[in-house]
């Protein structure tokens, strides 16, 4: 039996797009034991996945954000006797954990920090504009994978009880088979990746006036943005801060359309093949994080020399004009939304 350790301690979207690595490993090596090292914030991405034997949490942003905790975690991992460590996370800390796990085979992308600590690094940027999932799966080519071994689908799981919130909302709003649901994610960890809230408000009001139920998703800290967009309209529901990750999966799975910035909800929608409109500002689909849903549309301003201005965005526009977002008008997005609906 092979013992694999998979490490992914980055953002929620990165964790979601890593699931095919785990499912593909188990698809090829039926008797393999797969352990995942991840953060408490991303734990729910991996729970209920029968291909995962154990999930080890590393609170690197909280109580374990120190050298002593990292050493303790390394000792724990070393005791498992892993044969192989695979990671698509580029940090130096991940490289150190991988190295000191004592696994004989340690695989990562060639772009990682401290790459000399891995036994094998792979150039995953081999195709023109491959999706991040394809880049992730390229890490497995050293393990004698054939095309039939790869699982490209994102499998995310939730329980019936995780549907209680969304079912309650739909009942309260008298939603039937004739009323369609639009989920809007106006947020991102990076300010410049957020389409202006004024635009989202205008878009949400147009959708509400045309008879659609609009659900706003996001975190508790941004609840005021949700209230601003909601504008006291009954058929615009602010769910910001009201869902855990499993409940968020359930909400998006019920949608007829997701409209989002370049952020994790796009990948959740891809898991359930929900039609998706994605709005790009400082980043670009060429980075590989575009939607995989069969029906999708991307809005971006292609004639700006200053974009993309980074792989993640930033807290403010370096050119001070923010044209990459300001030039995408709500009426254009609304027109495409209606076509999809």
What CATH number has the domain bearing residue 131? 3.40.50.2000
DSSP letter assigned to residue 335: H
Contact residues for 11 (Cβ-Cβ < 8 A; gap 6+): 189, 264
- The predicted pLDDT at position 155 comes to 97
Specify the long-range contacts of residues 50-57, CB closer than 8 Å, at least 24 apart. Answer: 51/22, 51/23, 51/25, 51/26, 52/22
134 and 170 fall within a common domain = no
145 and 33 fall within a common domain = yes
141 and 223 fall within a common domain = no
Question: Of 281, 255, 252, nearest to 340 (Cα)?
Answer: 255
135 and 194 fall within a common domain = no
Contact residues for 51 (Cβ-Cβ < 8 A; gap 6+): 22, 23, 25, 26, 34
135 and 173 fall within a common domain = no
107 and 188 fall within a common domain = no
Give CA–CA dist 151/257, Å, rounded.
25
| DSSP β-ladder status, 296-299 and 236-238 | unpaired
212: left (phi over 0), alpha (psi -120 to 50) or beta: beta
pTM (2 d.p.): 0.94
113 and 170 fall within a common domain = no
Give CA–CA dist 87/101, Å, rounded.
13
The verdict on residue 156 lying in a domain is no
174 and 135 fall within a common domain = no
| DSSP β-ladder status, 84-87 and 105-109 | parallel
Question: 């964790």: which residue's tokens?
Answer: 15
233 and 277 fall within a common domain = yes
B/e letters for 36-63, b = 16+ CB within 10 Å, e = fewer, are: bbbbebbebbbeebebbeebebbebeee
SS3 140: helix
Give kind and range of the element (H or E) at residue 284.
none
Residue 203 to residues 239, 279, 281: CA-CA distances in angstroms? 17, 13, 17
Q: 35: domain range?
A: 3-149
Contact residues for 278 (Cβ-Cβ < 8 A; gap 6+): 260, 261, 262, 266, 285, 290, 291, 296, 297, 298, 299
Both structure tokens of 296: 């999708």
Give CA–CA dist 186/243, Å, rounded.
15
109 and 167 fall within a common domain = no
pLDDT in tens, 78-110: 999 999 999 999 999 999 999 999 999 999 999
Domain closes at, from 149, 172, 187: 149
Could you give the number of structural domains in the chain? 2
Q: What is the pLDDT along the chain (341 residues), one digit of tens a residue?
A: 699 999 999 999 999 999 999 999 999 999 999 999 999 999 999 999 999 999 999 999 899 989 999 999 999 999 999 999 999 999 999 999 999 999 999 999 999 999 999 999 999 876 666 899 999 999 999 998 988 999 999 999 999 999 999 999 999 988 887 789 999 999 988 889 999 999 999 999 999 999 999 999 999 999 999 999 999 999 999 999 999 999 999 999 999 999 999 999 999 999 999 999 999 999 998 889 999 999 999 999 998 888 888 777 787 888 888 899 999 999 999 999 999 99
Question: Of 288, 284, 316, nearest to 302 (Cα)?
Answer: 284
Question: Of 333, 204, 227, nearest to 280 (Cα)?
Answer: 333
125 and 240 fall within a common domain = no
């Amino acid at each position: 039996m092979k013992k694999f350790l998979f490490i992914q301690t980055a953002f929620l979207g990165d964790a979601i797009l890593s699931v095919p690595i785990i499912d593909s490993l188990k698809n090829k090596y039926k008797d393999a034991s797969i352990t995942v090292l991840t953060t408490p914030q991303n734990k729910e991405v991996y729970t209920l996945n029968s291909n995962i034997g154990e999930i080890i949490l590393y609170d690197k942003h909280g109580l374990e954000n120190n050298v002593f905790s990292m050493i303790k975690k390394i000792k724990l991992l070393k005791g498992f006797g892993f044969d192989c460590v695979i990671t698509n996370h580029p940090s130096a800390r991940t490289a150190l954990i991988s190295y000191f796990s004592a696994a004989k085979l340690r695989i990562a992308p060639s772009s990682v920090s401290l790459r000399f600590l891995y036994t094998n690094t792979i150039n995953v940027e081999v195709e023109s504009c491959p999706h991040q999932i394809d880049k992730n799966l390229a890490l497995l080519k050293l393990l004698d994978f054939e095309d039939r071994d790869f699982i490209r689908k994102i499998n995310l799981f939730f329980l019936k009880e995780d549907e209680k919130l969304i079912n309650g909302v739909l009942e309260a709003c008298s939603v039937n088979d004739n009323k369609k649901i639009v989920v809007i994610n106006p947020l991102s960890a990076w300010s410049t990746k957020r389409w202006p809230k004024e635009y989202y408000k205008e878009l949400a009001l147009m959708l509400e006036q045309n008879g659609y139920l609009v659900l706003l998703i996001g975190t508790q800290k941004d609840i005021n943005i949700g209230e601003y967009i909601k504008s006291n309209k009954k058929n615009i529901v602010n769910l910001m801060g009201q869902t855990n990750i499993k409940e968020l999966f359930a909400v998006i799975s019920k949608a007829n359309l997701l409209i989002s910035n370049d952020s994790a909800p796009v990948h959740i929608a891809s898991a359930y093949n929900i039609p998706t409109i994605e709005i790009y500002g400082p980043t670009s689909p060429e980075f590989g994080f575009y939607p995989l849903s069969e029906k999708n549309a991307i809005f971006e301003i292609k004639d700006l020399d200053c974009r993309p201005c980074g792989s993640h965005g930033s807290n403010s526009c370096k050119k001070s004009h923010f044209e990459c977002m300001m030039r995408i008008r709500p009426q254009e997005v609304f027109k495409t939304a209606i076509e999809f609906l």
